[in-house]
Amino acid sequence: MKLLLDTHAAIWWINGHDGLSPETKAMLEDDTNFVYVSIVSAWEIAIKTSCRKLPEFMGGSMAFLRWLDGIPVTLLPIAPRHVEVVETLPFIHRDPFDRLLVAVAKADGMTILTADENIRRYDVDSAW
C-alpha cells in the first residue's frame, strides 16, 4: 500500500507522539507498505515555524528534511497533476496545505494517514 503522511502525522511520528493510532503505527511499521511525504509538508512546517505556530516541532523544515533522509520514506515533489486535482476539489477544507495533500493522494492513488476529520471527508482513501 502507498501511504502519504499528513504533516501532523509525520511530526507525530518523528516526535514519538502518543497521538498516532495503533493502526497508523502498524501501517508505518509494515515493510510491505511504501511511505511518502510531500514537499508540501516541509513547506507547511517552514511557514508555521516562521510564525511560531509549531512549538511541538523544533528545528523547522530543514530538521524535518534531514529526518526524512534517515528513514525509508520517499519525498514527493508537487507535479502539474496535483495542481489539476486541487482545482476540482470541493471546499470541504480551506487549508491550502491539506487540500494539496488530498490532491497528491488522489492523483497518485495513495492512502493518506491523517487524524483530520475534514480531510477524511474527501473522496480519497484515508486511514487513522
| pLDDT tops 90 at residue 59 | no
pLDDT, mean of residues 96-106 = 97
- Which CATH code, of 3.30.70.1560, 3.40.50.1010, 2.120.10.10, 3.40.30.10, is assigned to 5-127? 3.40.50.1010
> Are the beta carbons of 10 and 45 closer than 8 angstroms?
no
User: DSSP states of 22-84 as a string?
Assistant: HHHHHHHH-TTSEEEEEHHHHHHHHHHHHTT--TTS-SHHHHHHHHHHTTTEEEEPP-HHHHH
Model pLDDT, residue 70: 87
Residue 115, SS3? coil
Model pLDDT, residue 36: 98
> Are the beta carbons of 49 and 61 closer than 8 angstroms?
yes
| Encoded amino acid at 70, one letter | G
- Indicate the pLDDT class of residue 21, thresholds 50, 70 and 90: very high
pLDDT, mean of residues 106-111 = 98
**Lowest mean pLDDT, pick from 17-21, 51-55, 73-77, 115-119:** 51-55
Model pLDDT, residue 56: 74
Residue among 47, 26, 18, 71 at smallest CA distance from 7: 47
> Are the beta carbons of 87 and 99 closer than 8 angstroms?
no
Model pLDDT, residue 106: 98
What residues does each domain of the chain span? 5-127
Supply 27's cell numbers: 501501517
* Cα of 81 vs its chain's centroid, Å: 17
